[in-house]
């Protein structure tokens, strides 16, 4: 790693097998058809790191990969996007996770994970690797490796004590179920949390964005951004609140849209943009992502995003 990184993305790295237009009617005893099948690197940390690097931010990634073909594929994609991979931890003991994604015609998706997603590294054992960055993104809270309260607390507390901006995306639990109460000691160390609507409903038990945000703020989170999909997004902190409409764009595949959103938000905050500008930029990043299959396909550069906004 050469010099200080602006941003370090931490969390899951994997390969997505994306099946679009799956026809549930079998054509034989064991055969099915789909419109297309593609392989794409993924995982929240990978998606965020690649997007941030494309947006011109000096970005590194702290994640775990197996010493296998899938891991080589992820490393190659990261390097091509300009992501610093010197912090990647590779192991012969565990395979690189592979996720199967079923994408419908409107861009919504369902995914299948496997036991490889449970094996991950321990970022709390490597505090020196990220406490000299300007910002970190946890991608994501409630998923490995951030599905253990002790790990979450140690990482976030160390980052904040070092003056690092902390951004935490969220995912619904899969192998280990945690609640906000389980991680309440860590949440005051979060500067920005960015759940989507379903995640915010699940963790807060509320149905309205303002109520969801109020619950999260009550746990000590400084700023809440709720991604509402086709309804745009909602922001609230201790000083005020606002909503922004969605991008007027035809969605092809929503895979990674939230990750592109949080990357755009963080990079613009690091550039000194105010929160409304940063969220508007993030909204565009998420919208652009949905215009092609795969989380890292459509977004190309900061200039592209600015052009869409204009």
Q: Which segment, 51-55, 99-103, 118-122, is predicted with the most confidence on average?
A: 51-55
Residues 6+ apart with CB under 8 A from 262: 48, 137, 139, 167, 169, 194, 282
Global pTM?
0.91
d(CA 216, CA 197): 13
d(CA 44, CA 78): 13
Q: Which range has the worst mean pLDDT, 51-55, 185-189, 244-248?
A: 244-248
The H or E element containing residue 10 is strand 7-11
User: pLDDT > 70: what percent of the chain?
Assistant: 98
Residue 306, pLDDT score:
96
70, pLDDT greater than 90: yes
Question: Mean pLDDT over residues 155-169, rounded?
Answer: 98
Establish whether the linkage from the previous residue to 231 is cis, with ω within 30° of 0.
Answer: no
Q: All domains of the chain, ordered by start, with CATH?
A: 7-12+44-96+118-309 (3.40.1190.20)
Backbone angles phi, psi at 195, to 5 degrees: -75, 155
Q: pLDDT tier at 1 (50, 70, 90 boundaries)?
A: very low
Residues 6+ apart with CB under 8 A from 249: 287, 288, 290, 291
Establish whether the linkage from the previous residue to 131 is cis, with ω within 30° of 0.
Answer: no
164, pLDDT greater than 90: yes
């Amino acid at each position: 790693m050469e010099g200080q990184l602006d941003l370090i993305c931490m969390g899951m790295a994997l390969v997505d097998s994306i099946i679009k237009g799956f026809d549930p009617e079998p054509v034989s005893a064991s055969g099915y058809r789909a419109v297309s099948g593609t392989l794409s690197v993924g995982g929240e940390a990978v998606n965020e790191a690649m997007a941030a690097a494309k947006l011109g931010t000096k970005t590194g990634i702290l994640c775990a990969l197996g010493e296998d073909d899938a891991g080589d594929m992820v490393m190659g994609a990261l390097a091509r996007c300009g992501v610093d991979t010197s912090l990647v931890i590779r192991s012969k003991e565990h395979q690189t996770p592979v996720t199967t994604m079923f994408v419908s015609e409107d861009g919504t998706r369902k995914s299948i994970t496997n036991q490889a997603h449970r094996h991950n590294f321990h970022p709390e054992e490597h505090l020196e690797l990220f406490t000299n960055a300007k910002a970190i993104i946890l991608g994501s809270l409630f998923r490995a490796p951030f599905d253990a309260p002790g790990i979450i607390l140690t990482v976030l507390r160390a980052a904040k004590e070092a003056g690092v901006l902390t951004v935490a995306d969220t995912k619904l639990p899969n192998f280990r179920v945690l609640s906000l109460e389980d991680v309440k000691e860590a949440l005051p160390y979060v500067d920005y949390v960015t759940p989507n609507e379903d995640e915010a409903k699940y963790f807060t038990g509320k149905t309205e964005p303002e109520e969801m945000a109020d619950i999260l703020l009550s746990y000590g989170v400084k700023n809440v951004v709720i991604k509402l999909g086709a309804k745009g997004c909602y922001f609230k902190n201790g000083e005020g609140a606002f909503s922004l409409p969605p991008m007027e764009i035809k969605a092809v595949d929503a895979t990674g849209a939230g990750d592109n959103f949080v990357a755009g938000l963080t990079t613009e905050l690091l550039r000194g943009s105010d929160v409304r500008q940063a969220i508007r930029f993030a909204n565009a990043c998420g919208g652009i992502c949905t215009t092609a299959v795969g989380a890292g396909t459509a977004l190309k550069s900061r200039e592209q995003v600015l052009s869409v906004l204009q």
